Each structure stands twice: as C-alpha cells, then as structure tokens.
Amino acid sequence: MCGIIGYCGPKPAANVLVEGLRRLEYRGYDSAGISVLKEGNLTVFKKKGKINDLKSILPDHINGKSGIGHTRWATHGEVNDINAHPHTDVSGRIAIVHNGIIENFTSLREKLVEEGSEFKSETDSEVIAHLISSLYDGDLERSVKQAVQLLKGTYGIIVMHADEPGLLVGARNGSPLVLGVGDGEMFLASDVTAIIAHTKQVIYIEDGEVVRITADDYATTDLKDRPVDKKIEFISWELEEIEKEGYSHFMEKEILEQPESIRRGMQGRIDLEFATGHLGGLNMTSQELINIERVKIIAAGTSFHAGMVAAYLLESIARLPATAELASELRYRNPIVERNTVYFAVSQSGETADTLYAMRELQRKGARVLGVCNVVGSTIPRESDGGVYIHSGPEIAVASTKAFTSQLTAFYLFSLIMARMRHMGTDTGLSFIKNLESVPERVAEIIDRRDQLLALARKYSGAKDFLFLGRGINYPVALEGALKLKEISYIHAEGYSAAEIKHGPIALINETTPSMFLVPEDSLRDKVITSMKEVKARRGPVIALAVDGDQEIAGIADDVFYVPQSHELTYPFLMVVPLQLFSYYCALELGRNVDQPRNLAKSVTVE
C-alpha cells in the first residue's frame, strides 16, 4: 500500500526522500513522487512506475532541506503521473502525501469545486490539499487540524506549505505514521524501514493525533490542541536486516533464514523445568489462562493459514475448542463475543486494515484480543490486550514466508502452555518441546535439498493451473502453498482438502494440471494416498511431498520431494518450506518480479 515519508534537516531532502521511498518499495506501489521546498517554492516531481522512473525526471541537484515523498498503490483513479502524489492545492503552495482512503471525498470535492478549487487528479487524496488550502489562515498546523475533522475514512498524511518553510505537519487516523527523532533532523514515515538508516529513535503517532516537525524540534497534540506526551521508543532492527545482503531476492533470503527465525521465536520462551512455554506478553495470569474455554483466531492471507494450523493444534493437543476466521468476514457479521473466549489477531505487519478493524469491533464488544505480530510498535500490538511478538525479523518480500513459520512457533508454544495447564503430563510436554526444538534443524535439511525443488519448478512452471492438496493440520498448508504460487508466479492455483477433490475440483484434472499432494506420516496418510490415486487414474501429474523413506509414494507420484522424519504435528513447518521454495523457483523461471509481484502490497492498510 502507499508509503509516505517526510524530512526536515540539513541534508538535501530529495536524496533522503528518494532513499526512503526505495526502502518503502516493498510495500508495493505503482508510482512515486516527491515535493521539496526550494527557494520559497514547492517543486513537485512525480512519475508512474518505479523509483528509478522517478529518479530519471529529477534534476541533478535539488537543494531543498525539507520535503515529502510518496509511493502510490492505486485505489481511486488509474496509475498515471497525474494521480501520483504529492498533490497540491490551486496556489501550488500546499503539498500533501496521503496513505489511506477518504470515503467522503466526492461530497467534499463537489463543495470545493463550487468554491473555486480546480482538481487535477482522479484521486480521493487531492481533496485534502484543497481542503487545507480553503481553511488556511497562516497557520498550517491549525488548518490541518480543522481539515482532518471534516474527513471520513483513513489517513496518514504529511503536509507542507511554502509559506512556512522547514515545517511539516503529519496527522493520523487508521493509517500508520511514525516520527523519527534524529540529531538536528526529523522524519515522518508510514513505517520505520524508511528512516532506520538515519535514526532508531521513534515515536508512534496514534489516531487523532497531529505532529509538527522542524529540523530541531517536534510537538504532538490532539485535534483539540492539547499536548500529547509521547514516549521515544528504540527500534531494535538493524539496517542490514532490511537489506538483501548478497541474496538475489528478499524472498530467498527470508525463506533461507527460517531455521534461525524459528529458533529465535522460541528463545527464552521454553521452560524445561515445568515442561511448558512462557509467553509473558500475553498479560494473563494462570487463573485467567485456565479459565479460557474457547480460542478464536482472526487474520488475513498467510496469517489466516497460520491461524488455521493453530486452531487445529489447540484442539488437538490442548483439547481447547478453537477456530480461525477471516478478519474481513468476521467484522461485518456482527460477531457474538462469548464469555471466556480469547481472540488472537494474527498479522505480520500489525497494520492489516481488515484484521485491525475486526479487532476493534471485537474489543468494542468487550472481547479480550491478543496480537500475534512481527512488526514491533505496529498498530495491532499497540491496541491489543497483550500478545506475542514473533521476532522473525523484518519481512520485506511481499510474499510472507518466515513470518508464517514464526507465527506457527508462537502458537505451538501457546498450545503447549494450554495443554500443560489442562491435561498434558510432564513427559509428553518434554517430548513436545524436543520435537519443536528439532524443527529448525529439519528445516535447514530441507533448505539443503533445495536444488531438487528448483528442478521441479523447471519441470512444472509451464502449467497454467495447479492444485495443492493436504489434510488435517496440513490442509491449511496446502492453502498456503496455492497462495504462494499464485501471488508470485501468477500461475492459477487452488488449495483444497485432498478429501474435497471428488466433490468438484477433480473435474479440472487432465494431463496438464499438476497436483501437489502433502503426504506426511500421519493418521490421514492413507486417505491422501487414495486421493492421489484418483488423480493419477485421470492422468493428472502428481508431485508429492513425503517423508524420508516412504517408498510407496514414489511408486504412485510422478515426482517426490522428501522431507525429514518428524513428529506428525510438526509437519506444517516441514511441508510449507518446500512449497515456498517451489513457488520462488517457479516465479524465477517465469521471470516474475518476485519481491514485488504485480498488484500486491505488503501491508494492506485499506479495506
């Protein structure tokens, strides 16, 4: 989704902005622009395409010391230079960048047009520039405050005025905004990756707050002009973590990092003495935990698939009723909040609008919602009633990989805690821990075998359609495999329970539609084999993910990728990693933009 950045300081603003926009590229975008205040006037450069396209229209030296920048992910109006941000008012003295959606822009626009404003773009965002202009009386901060009170929808904005050089004003409602506090320089941005190269001291701006920055100072107030005291927080991520460090793609780096990221997610969270887990961030006493009668998990995309695995696991080992639901659907069905139910909002970014709004809806109804998030300081963990940081490190590729296995890690620990409280004995607890602790090493073995997945990708990447089929705890992993393949290779892929193919999808099977079967050694293995045979009988090509030593599968499938033997409940980790690699290699074979696939955004901050 859109990324925004603002800078005030001694450096040439254009350079800082363009570098910041590069770091925001991972969010997904289709055009970019900057505005810099130079010799009393605003200069605006904006261009459809990538940051390099924007760079190609920038003069060699732009001396301005303050400015704003934007990467646009189109919602209102097609992708072109005019619809790109920044947008200016009629006088060209006010410029704004906006992340979010203004829902009442049509009525505001009509009114402003009647009053003489001339609009250049088709965007909802441009209305903000004209609105501020219509209210401006020499005090930018005041007019921003008045303007945002007339907006309906979501926004993270940064505004500048040529008459107030060296000042930027930011405001937030529903879209992230962070202030970076530097030494003689200040930053505003939609996320910390844009500014981490300059400062690690940040202040998270909340909904309803307005921030003003100059090179040496900042102030945060609410819409009624009351000062808001904010705490400076320290970002623990290192700059190297958001760089490729020699890998071809962030996705490759992030897949290969998983042995380490899974291990990190367990660190300090295993209590061998009592054979349980320890998740201090839940903010729940043992009494409160034992009183939980039901768990409901809400999320979107890959995080939803992790939630589905978690629900299966909680029921299986903790005997605790658990379900996972798409946050976007839950929000609009007037959910019933039951007593003694704990909700988890799962989100890598912690900013996904569907998940955030569903969480707020639940909280308004009195639910306790815990976050399972990666990005420290993001909105979901800040607004949740507690939770778990998954500590997978920055995930930059649009396709989520290591966050999925880290989300699983967090839920495996939570399930262990609940199981041990409810009925699981010490010995079983210890063996569960042993199995979990062996996962990173087994994932590393799979990574060592990745050449075989490259060969499979070469053989199958020409397919137009693909099926991914699994059962039980691996059924959500099949869904995840299909999502991964379609989002980065654009091959049409569907995930199903293997049992379901006979209820419809088998009609798709022919010589050119491959099926990827997940066949771990578990109680459903024989049932999956039956489904495989049904596909083979219809001449469908079959690839199987099976467990070392399972020769029977080799006799049925056209190709087999073997994963190391493990405990049956840990196979989701071992099945998903080959699927991630397979998708990655298919996308490479097809020459796709792996890290920034078309039409997608990393953090989906609009509904």
In this chain, which of 37, 102, 300, 419 binds ligand AGP, going by CB under 6 A?
Answer: 300
Catalytic status, residue 527 = no
Answer positive or negative: Cα dihedral of 422, 423, 424, 426. positive
Nearer to ligand AGP, 397 or 467 (CB): 397
- Determine the residue type at 559: D
Smallest distance from ligand AGP to CB 213, Å: 27
Catalytic status, residue 2 = yes
Footprint (CB under 6 A) of ligand AGP, residues 572-601: 600
Is 143 in contact with 161 (CB distance < 8 Å)?
no
Q: Binding marks (x or -) toward ligand AGP, 484..513, rule CB under 6 A?
A: ---x--------------------------
In this chain, which of 99, 117, 348, 384 binds ligand AGP, going by CB under 6 A?
Answer: 348
Contact status: 604 vs ligand AGP (CB under 6 A):
yes
Closest CA to 349 of 334, 366, 364, 327: 327
3-state class (DSSP) for residue 593: coil
Nearer to ligand AGP, 140 or 297 (CB): 297
Nearer to ligand AGP, 144 or 399 (CB): 399
| 224 backbone dihedrals φ, ψ, rounded to 5° | -95, 15
In this chain, which of 125, 190, 258, 347 binds ligand AGP, going by CB under 6 A?
Answer: 347
Single out the catalytic residue among 2, 8, 373, 586. 2
Smallest distance from ligand AGP to CB 470, Å: 18
Q: Binding marks (x or -) toward ligand AGP, 389..428, rule CB under 6 A?
A: ---------xxx----------------------------
Single out the catalytic residue among 46, 484, 486, 602. 602
Q: Binding marks (x or -) toward ligand AGP, 252..291, rule CB under 6 A?
A: ----------------------------------------
3-state class (DSSP) for residue 478: helix
Is 176 in contact with 1 (CB distance < 8 Å)?
no
Distance separating alpha carbons of residues 347 and 298, to the nearest angstrom: 9
In this chain, which of 301, 472, 520, 572 binds ligand AGP, going by CB under 6 A?
Answer: 301
Size of the site for ligand AGP (CB under 6 A): 16
Distance separating alpha carbons of residues 86 and 101, to the nearest angstrom: 15
For ligand AGP, the nearest residue by Cβ is: 301
Smallest distance from ligand AGP to CB 607, Å: 12
Smallest distance from ligand AGP to CB 327, Å: 8
Is 101 in contact with 153 (CB distance < 8 Å)?
yes
Residue 394 structure tokens: 């920055």
3-state secondary structure 482-507: HHHHHHHHCCEEEEEEHHHHHHCHHH
Q: How many other CB atoms sit within 10 Å of the CB of residue 63?
A: 12
Dump strand ranges (E) for 435-582: 465-470, 492-497, 515-519, 542-547, 559-563
Footprint (CB under 6 A) of ligand AGP, residues 217-246: none
In this chain, which of 258, 303, 497, 531 binds ligand AGP, going by CB under 6 A?
Answer: 303
Distance separating alpha carbons of residues 571 and 438, to the nearest angstrom: 12
Is 498 in contact with 517 (CB distance < 8 Å)?
yes
Question: Which range in 176-184, 230-238, 301-309, 313-321 contacts ligand AGP by CB under 6 A?
Answer: 301-309
| 350 backbone dihedrals φ, ψ, rounded to 5° | 75, 10
DSSP states along 26-45? GG--SEEEEEEEETTEEEEE
Smallest distance from ligand AGP to CB 484, Å: 6
| Active site residues per annotation | 2, 602
Q: Which residues contribute to the site for ligand AGP (CB under 6 A)?
A: 300-303, 347-349, 352, 355, 398-400, 487, 600, 603-604
